[in-house]
Structure 1
Amino acid sequence: MNTAVPTDSDSKTVLNISCYQFVAIDAPDALRDTLHERAQALGLKGTVLIAEEGINLFLAGPADAVRTWVDALRGDARFAALAPKESWSDEVPFRKLLVKVKPEIIRMNHPTIRPDQAPRAPALPAGTLKRWLDQGHDDEGRPVVTLDTRNGFEVDVGAFDGAIDWRITKFSEFPDAFQAHRAELDGKTVVSYCTGGIRCEKAALYLDQEAVRHGLDAKVYQLEGGILKYFEEVGNAHYHGDCFVFDERRAVDPELAPSPDSVVE
């Protein structure tokens, strides 16, 4: 985990983390109870979703408390590789702590897509995507398109320049949207992206499988770490606007600071 202190403002003392991992969890209810107890004892707020396919979390609080919770979770070998993305704020952007067991940590309603049971689709580092967008093609000379896997209202807050946006209203609509628009991906290198990586990881796996099934000439990647990692590593190159987040900040800017126009008072 990045352990740097905030540099934009000494007043920003609340550490916000987001992270997910697709990994088989055979007793999600027991894990829920353990993680809830730890987070509550440390005074953290946010949301932790657990399913048989993995974990997805958004937590905030004092830096030492947040990192203590993460270190304890990493003590479980299944989560040793967790690398939360960090940002800072003046206030905790969550009203309460929720730790829930769900059928999926991100709902797609497509049971054959199980990232915890299959190899990942290739992940593209932020710097490589920027370079490809700078030059207008990938390293093989193929045209590159970015495919936004988020809901339409999130895209409206900010997106990559010229991104494909199928105006879905929930992620479970993504498979049908692909079937309706799959021809536009033929012959392209497709980089799926989302906020922090979880949706584009499932989407890329689905796209890769379906491209083969339909005989499409499409090379599929997922943007490693999503928009938040892209902001952290290369800023807002080829991106316009902010990034919507599902907490009271509503959006963060390319410096990963709460967007002044979006914070809920």
Structure 2
Amino acid sequence: MPILNISAYKFVGLDDLASLRARMVERCDALALKGTILLAPEGINLFLAAPREAIDAFVAWLREDPRFADIVPKESWSESAPFGRMRVRLKKEIITMHAPAIRPENGRAPHVLPVDLRRWLDQGHDDDGRPVVLLDTRNDYEVAAGTFQETVEYGLSSFTQFPAAVAADRDRFDGKTVVSFCTGGIRCEKAAIHMREIGIDHVYQLEGGILKYFEEVGGAHWRGDCFVFDDRGSVDPALAPARAG
């Protein structure tokens, strides 16, 4: 498959949004990229598609900015670009939660690597012997495409509903290790910070989200596919576009 799809995000303070957007539009147009880049005071969230050479050129250019030097994209392949055009948008948040006190750019949430999460799930507990609860922070239509086995999910229609939903369910997590997860890591990072802020102990985010788990571990403990926000609709645990039927 000739088209490389990447997704990446980073929570980092940005105060030059207009000029940064202009530079990114120019670079994306020059490389004929397709996809979406979101820029907000709290950071960057991007989804891009193009042949490998163009993607690598953009990532190398992006990393020249010290704020993005350590950004690590998640990769998958498709026969054609799953985006119709290129958009670089300015937003209030790169993932809307309506919880201004949650500032991931001031410090990341604790995380668990995909290989370690698989080991925890294989053995039935974390390394300290606590039961592990998986918490899907995505919306209901995303969960419907697939999720981890024995996952807690709240039937959300918007991520803005998450704080109230988890607050009403906090007793479930007493004495357990909670791993929040989402497609690429961005929602579950905010979710993990919020849960720790309201006093839920032993909360981690899945580093890199479902896509990084598929990339490094495959489909262990997973059922179905993973919804993605482009024309592929969803990808399977091999990161190939899922086939209907």
Q: Which amino acid aligns with 1:86?
A: E
**Residue of structure 1 equivalent to 2:86:** 97
Question: 188, 202, 213: which one pairs with 1:200?
Answer: 188
In the TM superposition, residue 62 of structure 1 has moved relative to its aligned partner by 1.3
Root-mean-square deviation (CA, aligned residues, Å) is 0.9
**Residue of structure 1 equivalent to 2:129:** 141
Extract unaligned runs of 5+ from structure 1. Answer: 1-11
Q: Which amino acid aligns with 2:95?
A: I
In the TM superposition, residue 115 of structure 1 has moved relative to its aligned partner by 0.4
**Residue of structure 2 equivalent to 1:154:** 142
Equivalent-residue separation in structure 2 for 1:210 and 1:30 (angstroms): 37
Deviation per CA, 1:3-27: give whole Å up to 9, x if none.
xxxxxxxxx1001000000001111
The answer to whether structure 1 residue 222 and structure 2 residue 211 are counterparts is no
**Residue of structure 1 equivalent to 2:152:** 164
**Residue of structure 2 equivalent to 1:237:** 220
**Residue of structure 1 equivalent to 2:241:** 258
Q: Which amino acid aligns with 1:78?
A: R
Equivalent-residue separation in structure 2 for 1:63 and 1:121 (angstroms): 31
Deviation per CA, 1:211-241: give whole Å up to 9, x if none.
2xxxx4x310000000001011111111101
Superposition TM-score, scaled by structure 2 size: 0.98
Q: Which amino acid aligns with 1:134?
A: D
**Residue of structure 2 equivalent to 1:27:** 16
The answer to whether structure 1 residue 82 and structure 2 residue 71 are counterparts is yes
Deviation per CA, 1:231-260: give whole Å up to 9, x if none.
111111111011000000000011101001
In the TM superposition, residue 121 of structure 1 has moved relative to its aligned partner by 1.8
Equivalent-residue separation in structure 2 for 1:250 and 1:68 (angstroms): 27
Extract unaligned runs of 5+ from structure 2. Answer: none
Equivalent-residue separation in structure 1 for 2:170 and 2:156 (angstroms): 15
**Residue of structure 2 equivalent to 1:60:** 49
**Residue of structure 2 equivalent to 1:122:** 110
Aligned residues: 245
Equivalent-residue separation in structure 1 for 2:68 and 2:47 (angstroms): 15
**Residue of structure 2 equivalent to 1:247:** 230
Equivalent-residue separation in structure 2 for 1:254 and 1:125 (angstroms): 17
In the TM superposition, residue 261 of structure 1 has moved relative to its aligned partner by 1.3
**Residue of structure 2 equivalent to 1:191:** 179
Q: Which amino acid aligns with 2:178?
A: V
Deviation per CA, 1:84-133: give whole Å up to 9, x if none.
0111100100011110010000000000001012x222110011111111
Equivalent-residue separation in structure 2 for 1:36 and 1:173 (angstroms): 33
Equivalent-residue separation in structure 2 for 1:111 and 1:66 (angstroms): 33
